[in-house]
């Protein structure tokens, strides 16, 4: 089949226009194709699917997979036998290779391990092309003709607030975009002191702003206070969820459109939000199942225990009936926006700010991702939670990795947290090691940062 970029752009547009029947037909055919490919080329899936029917058009017939099950079988999971865990680990351990292609044909991204297992994921060119075509469909639904005119008139200057220094999906995307568009894209590290970020944004004057959701909320507060003076045409928030009132506040403060998407490193083109706040699943390239604790489907209109996803595009590391761990609600009726793609709400991702108080009672707010990106740089950690117990105290629940020196890991982590606090002008905040282990959420995830209740 011809799957050129032009063909994909036309097909994603056509699928939405033709409605759910055509979308379901594409979904069934693509599922059968990816399952057959996984069986033929992945030793892991060949073993897992050995007793299944020859052709699979319904994910319910497939066993459930997860990061915990796949990562220990990394070499057998991959469909290219030139890809090994040893080679990939050496690649991701080198920060100078962020955004570079692995073996000249794959993109590597990593996750922060909210389920207790760090994920290393490869994307092939087909998956990236599908993501680009869906991004075009998404932006077309968000922007009108006048918006495009304003963006062009503003030099298409784009500001991104990202976790840098690691092979996170956002860092890889930001690095490549900056290489491609040069000075029209400026990337701000999430751990940059807020006052410096505000100063640089005022100087840059972006018309497109793409921060993490928590940073978007902080920037709105700076704009509201009169310290930030930017006029974006569109703000695209990522990585975390916010309460609905926060999206409305950000839009009101900046007098702009605020949009976001629910996605994952495993399925970067999972969904995108409409003007009514519903996430529309890109079901022509994704299968999403809302299920209970026993992986049985839950009725539309009810919150699920978890969600299973299948990526129908990526062949190098097939993601099939994969437990993502978030709770979702399927809309039982058509969305008023008119988009035929299935609509969901997501409960599993909320950005929780940490607010500290100075001696004079002045609050200093820090996004949780500032700490998350620091944690990911410290070796020897299996699971960790940073819990704020008072406005001036952090309690660290630490489970070192197997074979790691517990005391050495703690000293390294403590030093890094202290350094970060001093950089953020929070040197007075105390840090203590907890005796209790990290606590799991009902969905099976470990919140790395828990703010003061």
157-216 residue pLDDT tens: 999 988 776 677 777 777 788 888 888 999 898 888 888 999 999 999 999 999 988 889
Contacts of 321 (CB under 8 A, 6+ apart): 59, 62, 63, 64, 65, 287, 289, 308, 309, 310
List the domains of the chain with CATH numbers: 1-347 (3.40.50.12780), 354-450 (3.30.300.30)
Place of tokens 């790691």: 404
With cut-offs at 50, 70 and 90, classify the pLDDT of residue 363: confident
- Max avg pLDDT among 152-156, 191-195, 324-328: 152-156
Span 55-98, pLDDT tens digits: 999 999 999 999 999 999 999 999 999 999 999 999 988 888 98
63 φ/ψ angles, rounded to the nearest 5 degrees: -65, 155
Mapped onto helix, strand or coil, the DSSP state of residue 315 is: coil
Q: Which residue has the tokens 């011809």?
A: 2
Cα–Cα distance, 200 to 189 (Å, whole number) = 12
Least confident of 162-171, 292-301, 343-352, 362-371: 162-171
Residue 65 CB partners (closer than 8 Å, separation 6+): 48, 319, 320, 321, 322, 323
CA distances to 54, 61, 126, 128, 311 from 57, in Å = 10, 9, 21, 24, 14
More confident residue, 23 or 451: 23
What pLDDT is stored for residue 312 in this prediction? 98
The DSSP letter of residue 108 is E
Q: Please state which of the ranges 3-17, 336-350, 407-421 shows the lowest mean pLDDT.
A: 336-350
Instruction: Give the pLDDT confidence of 277-289 residue by residue, as tens digits.
Output: 999 999 999 999 9
For residue 325, what pLDDT is reported? Answer: 85
Q: What token pair was written down for 85?
A: 């865990």
Give the CB-side neighbour count of residue 1, counting CA atoms within 13 A.
Answer: 10
Residue in the structure block whose two tokens are 């299948």:
310
Task: Please choose, from the candidates 355, 365, 424, the residue with its C-alpha nearest in 3D space to the C-alpha of residue 218.
Answer: 365
Whether the pTM exceeds 0.85: the reply is no
Closest to 197 (Cα-Cα) out of 234, 171, 162:
162
Residue 348 clears pLDDT 60, i.e. is over it: no
Q: Given a cut of 90, is residue 152 above it in pLDDT?
A: yes
User: Does 375 score more than 90 pLDDT?
Assistant: no
Per-residue confidence (pLDDT) for residue 117, from 0 to 100 = 62
**In the predicted model, is pLDDT for residue 113 greater than 60?**
no
The mean pLDDT value of the chain amounts to: 90
Cα separation, 179 vs 173, in Å, equals 10
User: Could you tell me if 308 and 328 are in contact, meaning their C-beta atoms sit under 8 angstroms apart?
Assistant: no
CA–CA dist 338, 320 (Å, integer): 29
For helices 368-375 and 213-224, angle between their N-to-C axes, nearest 10 degrees:
140
Predicted pLDDT of residue 88: 94
* pLDDT for res 212: 86
pLDDT given at position 408: 93
Does 377 have pLDDT greater than 80? no
Q: Is the pLDDT of residue 112 over 70?
A: no
The answer, yes or no, to whether residue 261 has pLDDT greater than 70, is yes
**What pLDDT shows up at residue 443?**
56
Contact in structure between 343 and 279 (CB atoms under 8 Å): yes
SS3 category, 115: coil
């Amino acid at each position: 089949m011809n799957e050129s970029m032009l063909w994909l752009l036309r097909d994603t547009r056509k699928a939405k226009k033709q409605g759910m029947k055509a979308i379901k037909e594409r979904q069934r055919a693509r599922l059968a194709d990816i399952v057959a490919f996984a069986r033929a080329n992945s030793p892991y899936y060949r073993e897992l699917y050995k007793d299944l029917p020859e052709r699979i058009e319904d994910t319910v017939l497939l066993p459930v997979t997860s990061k915990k099950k796949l990562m220990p079988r990394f070499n057998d999971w991959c469909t290219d036998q030139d890809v090994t865990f040893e080679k990939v680990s050496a690649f991701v351990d080198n920060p100078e290779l962020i955004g570079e292609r692995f073996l000249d044909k794959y993109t590597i991204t990593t996750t922060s391990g909210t389920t207790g297992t760090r994920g290393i994921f490869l994307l092939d060119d087909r998956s990236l092309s599908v993501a680009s075509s869906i991004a075009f469909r998404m932006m077309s639904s968000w922007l009108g003709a006048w918006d495009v005119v304003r963006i062009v008139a503003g030099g298409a200057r784009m500001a991104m607030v990202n976790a840098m220094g690691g092979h996170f999906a956002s860092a890889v995307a930001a690095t490549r975009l900056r290489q491609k568009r040069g000075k029209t894209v400026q990337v701000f590290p999430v751990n940059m002191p807020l006052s410096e970020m505000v100063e640089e944004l005022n100087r840059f004057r972006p018309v497109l702003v793409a921060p993490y959701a928590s940073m978007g909320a902080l920037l709105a507060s700076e704009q509201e206070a009169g310290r930030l003076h930017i006029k974006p045409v569109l703000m695209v928030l990522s990585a975390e969820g916010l309460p609905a009132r926060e999206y409305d506040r950000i839009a009101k403060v900046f007098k702009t459109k605020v949009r976001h998407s629910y996605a994952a490193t495993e399925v970067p083109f999972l969904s995108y939000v409409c003007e009514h706040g519903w996430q529309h699943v890109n079901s022509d390239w994704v299968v999403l199942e809302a299920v209970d604790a026993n992986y049985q489907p839950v009725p539309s209109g009810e919150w699920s225990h978890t969600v299973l996803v299948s990526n129908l595009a990526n062949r190098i590391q097939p993601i099939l009936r994969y437990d993502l761990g978030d709770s979702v609600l399927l809309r039982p009726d058509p969305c008023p926006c008119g988009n035929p793609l299935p609509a969901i709400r997501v409960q599993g991702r909320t950005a929780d700010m940490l607010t500290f108080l100075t001696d004079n009672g002045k609050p200093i707010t820090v996004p949780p991702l500032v700490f998350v990106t620091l944690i990911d740089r410290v070796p020897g950690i299996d699971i960790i939670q940073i819990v704020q117990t008072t406005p001036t105290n952090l309690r660290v629940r630490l489970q070192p990795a197997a074979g790691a020196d517990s005391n050495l890991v703690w000293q390294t982590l403590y030093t890094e947290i202290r350094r970060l606090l001093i950089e953020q002008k929070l040197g007075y905040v105390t840090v203590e090691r907890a005796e209790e282990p990290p606590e799991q959420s009902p969905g099976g995830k470990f919140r790395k940062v828990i703010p003061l209740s």
